[in-house]
Amino acid sequence: MKYSFYIFLLSSIVSFSQNKENLVKSLSGFSSYQSDCVRQNCKEFQEFFKVYEKTDGKEIRELLEKEKPIIRAYVENRLIVGGKADVVGLFEKELKNQDSIEFSFCLYSITIPLSNFVYNQYIEAIYDKEILKRGLENKFILNYDITIKDDSIVRKLDSVIIFGNYKIDYDLYSQAFKNRTYPVNYIKRINELALDNNAFAFKYLVENKENTFDVDLYFHNQFQNAEFKTYNELMHLREYLEYLLKSKSDENRKIAIEKIIKEKEHWSVYPRQFKQLIDEFDIKI
């Protein structure tokens, strides 16, 4: 009887280890996250889905700690869709890791941070749950504000974005500041972000008529001297330029054109978004 117990224990350990190895193996042929295939349960992923169901919690945690980003992405998707994820914990972990994945959907492929992936997968899970609950055909029928803004986990994710000391993608700031109006105790931090050349924090303060931020002082001083070099920084620059040009102020237009010329060396690496703006407002440079 004693030996039988040890044999059972050993076989269980071997089985668990094999599950983890088989799960990784089932994804070995994929270098990107195939969004459409995952949602449609394509046959290419049937083995992964099957092995995942046999993999225990301890092995899943090990995979999330040790495996390469693309493996983590598929596992994180299953956890979130299955309602078994510590979404805030996963989000903060990926913010610390600063890893990215190739994300494929329809005929397109983009590189996104894994932190964005976790955030967006949770938003998708909320939509899917509401669609099922209401018997709707698709998510476009849903009211974004009602569906998202009051969700307690989204609130926590947005708080991490605003207060966290991480390198955060511009798109996460865009979503967090779009989701809701924040209480007074957030304003000091939002001001700090705006003073650190965060265009989405700036726009939030302006749109919500917060009188704690001196817009004219910012554009006539700090904005003139700020450098926008990386893709992330340049997406903030584009938001500032759009704000200035849409204001229809001659002075603001002058500031915008001067900045476009000054930063041309940097934004010309990613020309599409800026040329679109230049053409729309008939800017000659």
φ, ψ at 33 (rounded to 5°): -90, 115
Residue 178 burial (CB count, 10 A): 15
Q: What is the mean pLDDT of the chain?
A: 87
In this prediction, residue 198 carries a pLDDT of 98
pLDDT at residue 12 is higher than 70: no
Q: What is the mean pLDDT of the segment spanning 69-85?
A: 94
Among 61-70, 94-103, 177-186, 206-215, whose mean pLDDT is lowest? 61-70
With tokens 């990215």, the residue in question is: 100
pLDDT in tens, 109-142: 899 999 999 999 999 898 888 777 776 665 555 5
In this prediction, residue 208 carries a pLDDT of 94
pLDDT at residue 10 is higher than 50: no
pLDDT in tens, 16-52: 457 778 888 888 888 899 987 777 777 778 888 888 8
With tokens 């609950």, the residue in question is: 133
* % of the chain residues with pLDDT over 70: 89
pLDDT at residue 11 is higher than 60: no
In this prediction, residue 16 carries a pLDDT of 43
DSSP 3-state assignment of 176? helix
With tokens 């992330």, the residue in question is: 232
Q: What is the mean pLDDT of the segment spanning 174-183?
A: 95
Q: What is the mean pLDDT of the segment spanning 184-192?
A: 97
Integer-rounded Cα Rg, in Å, for the chain is 23
Q: What angle is formed at CA 199 by the lines to CA 261 and CA 204, rounded to 5 degrees?
A: 145
pLDDT in tens, 204-261: 999 999 888 999 999 999 999 999 999 999 999 999 999 999 999 999 999 999 999 9
Residue 59 pLDDT grade (very low, low, confident, very high; cuts 50, 70, 90): confident
Question: Tokens in use for 163?
Answer: 């207060």
Counts for the chain of helices (H) and strands (E), in that order: 18, 3
In this prediction, residue 149 carries a pLDDT of 80
Better-predicted residue by pLDDT, 99 or 42? 99
Q: What is the mean pLDDT of the segment spanning 52-81?
A: 89
In this prediction, residue 19 carries a pLDDT of 76
Spatial distance between the Cα atoms of 101 and 85, rounded to a whole number of angstroms: 19
Spatial distance between the Cα atoms of 165 and 185, rounded to a whole number of angstroms: 17
pLDDT in tens, 155-173: 999 999 999 999 999 999 9
φ, ψ at 27 (rounded to 5°): -110, 5
Better-predicted residue by pLDDT, 107 or 181? 181
With tokens 């994180």, the residue in question is: 76
Task: Report pTM.
Answer: 0.88
